[in-house]
Each structure stands twice: as C-alpha cells, then as structure tokens.
Amino acid sequence: MELTDVARERIVADAVRAGEIWAQTAPADRATVLGMVADALDAAADRLVPIALAETHLPETRLRGELTRTTFQLRLLAGSAAAGEHLDVRIDHADADWPMGAPRPDLRRTAVPLGPVIVFAASNFPFAFSVAGGDTASALAAGCPVILKAHGGHPELSIATAEVVTGALREAGAPDGLFALVEEPSDARAILTHPEIKAGAFTGSIPAGRTLFDLAQARSEPIPFYGELGSVNPVFVTEQAAKRRAQEIADGFLASFTLGAGQFCTKPGVLLAPVGSGLVERLSAAALPAAAPLLNDRIVAGHRHVLDELLQHPGVTALVGGDREPADPPAPSLLATTADALLEDVDGILTECFGPTAVVVTYEDEKQLIEVARALDGQLTATVAGETDDAIVPELVATLARKAGRVLWNEWPTGVSVTHAQQHGGPYPATTAPGTTSVGTAALSRFVRPVAWQGFPDALLPDELRDTPHHPIARRINGLLIPGGSA
C-alpha cells in the first residue's frame, strides 16, 4: 500500500536524525553494530531461506551460500570502514617555505558521510543485492542511514529480512530510523527526489535504472545515483586458444552462461570464435542443461521478448534451442551470427538477454576482434580466452580496459568475489557511475565526500585528523603514507 505524504516525511525525517547520530559514531562502534546485524541474519537463516525458496525458485544450497556471502560482506565492509580505508586521510602541516611561492597552511583532509541514502534492491540476488546487500552494507558502514526499496520479486523475504535488520540494530543501540523499508515504487520515487536524500543506489534493468538516474539528476540539487544497469560481458577467443583448448573453452562458456539459469549480471552473453576452429561445432553438439525456473514472471517475459527480437534479426540464427514457441521455464538457447553482421548492427545484436541465452559470433580475421571491442558500449566485464604469445592480445586487452570495469584472462566472469580489489562497475550503460564499484571494500567511497579542515586546533578536529588519534589509521602525512600513528 502506498504511504501517505506524512508517513514518507516521517521516514525521511527519522533517517536524517539517525544519520546525524550515526555519522558521529566511531567507525569501530559502527562495525560492532553491523557485526550484530550479520550475526542476527546468520541466526535467522532457517526462517529466511524457506521464504526465499518459495518466492524466487532458487535452490536451497544457492540461497544459503548467498546468505553467507551477505553476512560476510557486512562484516568485511564494516571492518574496512573501521580501518578508515575509504577516508583517504591526508595531513599537510604548515610550511612557511612551501615552494609554490607562498606559505602552505595547515590542511587536513578526510571524508564525511553523505547523509540519507535510498537503495533499490535487486531481484536476482535476494540476499546479497537486496535488503541487507552490498549497497545497504556499504552505506551503513560509511555512516549513512538507508531507506530500502524492496523488490517486488520477493516481497515477503524483504519484509522478513528487514525485520531481522531493524531488530538487530535496535538491540545494538543504533539510532531509530537508521534503516527503513518501503515497498511501493511511487514511494521510492518520491523519496529519491526528497531534498534530504543525498544519494541513490540501484541494481536492475537499463530502462528502470535510467529513469531513476534521470530523476536524481533533475532535482534542484542533483545527487549521486549509483546504478548498475546492463552488460553482455563479451568473451573474445583468439585463434590459438581455440585451436589448443576448444573443448575446454566450450565447456567453460556453457557452464558460465547457464549458471543460475543465466540470471547473473556478469553472464557471458556473447562469445567471439574463429571460423573453422571447431569451437562452434563443439558448442552446437554439447548437451545444454535442462530448463530451470526463472526468478519471476517478469523475468520470463523479458527474456522471451529479447530472445524473439534476436531470432527475428536477419543476421541471427538459432544454433541450439531458440524455440519459437514461448516456454516457462525457457530452455537454454545459443544463437549464432557473424562479426560482419554484428558490426553492421551493434545495438541490435549486442543487447542483454537476461536469462539462459547467449550469442556466438564467428570471425574470419583476428583484426575483427579489435573492431568489435572498439564498437562495444560500457561493460561490467570483458574476457579474453587467449595465449600469452598471441600478437593480438596486447591491443585487445588495452581496448577492453577502456570498455569494461573488469577484464579477465582465461577465466569466466560469473562469480563476483567480495574482496578489496574487486571492481564491479564500468562505463555506461553498465553503470551510471563508472568511477565506482558496488562490490568490494572500495564501494564505501560512494557514500562519503571529502572535506578539508584548515588551521583548526587539534581538539576540534575529527579523530582521524588529530596529531595523536584515539584510533590510528593509515594516513598520508606531508606526502608520505604512514601506516598509523601520530602526525
């Protein structure tokens, strides 16, 4: 049910008040609180997983593993925030002889939380990218309150997870209003445009994400909107790799694009293979997995719509599957085209088909790999299946690094490790903020902004800027990176 204007205002006002308290809470104390949230989610697994089973059609082993990932990333992000990695603390002491030609004042720079954030949950990861997922975890760890828009694909799980989160926050003594759930799209849009909201985060389709991004930018005060939207995650197979490892590549590609019934944002949706290598023949002769239920009816319909458009394209044929009659669940499909046809209509063929469908593109000359790479729009990932002595590889990798947030060498993009060096983002339309990541500890930096203090006495500075902080963290002092300690 849609909230009243008064109810929405109360949620935002509560978030503002909670945010003022939470931002002043020591990062180590915030980490303790979020650790209690993670513990509560782990303890509620036997309650939450059956609800997820009923609403998402995902297998129990996958859901339990995903819940483990969710609580792990809560703890990892909270610990990283406590270590101050996202603050990028810099201290420059006053220097009367600073060589720019004028004395340098005492300047000390850190980062402060943005303020209330609205997070739009995703459907395909009902734990890890949903209510208590990475966007929520990184915003809370960075010191921001969160208003969460539940995804309609798993409403009961969203409510149950939110109850666990709010209960754990209350028990830990966190300020009331630090986390809230809304269910209706109209409420979420109204909150996104509220002047007290300072950022938005989203995982989903290009049309929905672009609509929300445009709302965020059209405000009288535009705000950051961190949207992960869409990607076909191309795989480029060199001639030597196909000659030496055709079966290995075929098996890996089939396993990756059908993993989770193709419902991963990092699914390799396009594979470029050399003509005459036998790779296409191996793919067409392989036994594909049986049809598996998709997450919800909307995803079934979306997959069918894009599959039909591809099958109607004059340059595309069905290699395996590609049934003309709709089926639920849909069987995996492999479609085929050529590099020439693709380059004639990049937008028509390189389109994300979310679900168990991928396109195999054959090429005559390795130079076409560079042409296709240059024609790509922004991607989350790009993969090279190659050999170290391939002459084409250096230029290909350099081109792909300009197009994708993560470039892989002889590995598959499905499976996004939650770790310090992860980059889950890329140029538009993969994301709306290519300089950021939604996975890994660098995700914290999305929800803070830098502030410099000039000429302040030590007692009035934030702890991390003081000469002798209570909680030492790594800092850059007079240009030198110091692991921790006094300035």
Catalytic residues: 228, 265
Query: Cβ neighbours of residue 237 under 8 Å, at least 6 residues apart?
Result: 249, 271, 272, 273, 274, 277, 279, 385, 386
Cβ(31)–Cβ(141) below 8 Å: yes
∠ CA 304-305-308, rounded to 5°: 80
**DSSP 8-state assignment for residue 444:** G
Rounded-to-integer distance, Cα 319 and Cα 201, Å: 38
Secondary structure (DSSP) of 134-156: HHHHHHHHHT--EEEE--TTSHH
Nearest CA among 3, 109, 104, 123 for reference residue 56: 123
Cβ proximity of 274 and 237 under 8 Å = yes
Select from 60, 55, 51 the least CA-distant residue to 297.
55
For residue 250, the SS3 value is: helix
Measure the CA–CA gap between 241 and 246, rounded to whole angstroms.
Answer: 7
CB 461 within 8 A of CB 87: no
Q: How far is CA 187 from CA 11, 146, 193, 257, 429, in A?
A: 11, 14, 10, 35, 25
Beta strands in 411-471 (DSSP E): 448-454
Tokens 């593993």 found at: 65
Contact 251, 217 (CB under 8 A): no
CB 472 within 8 A of CB 484: yes
Residue 340 tokens, joined: 């020439």
Return d(Cα 151, Cα 264) in angstroms, integer. 16
Q: Are 300 and 330 in contact (CB under 8 A)?
A: yes
Q: How far apart are CA 401 and CA 434, in angstroms?
A: 12
Alpha-carbon dihedral angle through residues 463, 465, 466, 469, given to the nearest 10 degrees: 50
**Ramachandran angles phi, psi of 253, nearest 5°:** -65, -45
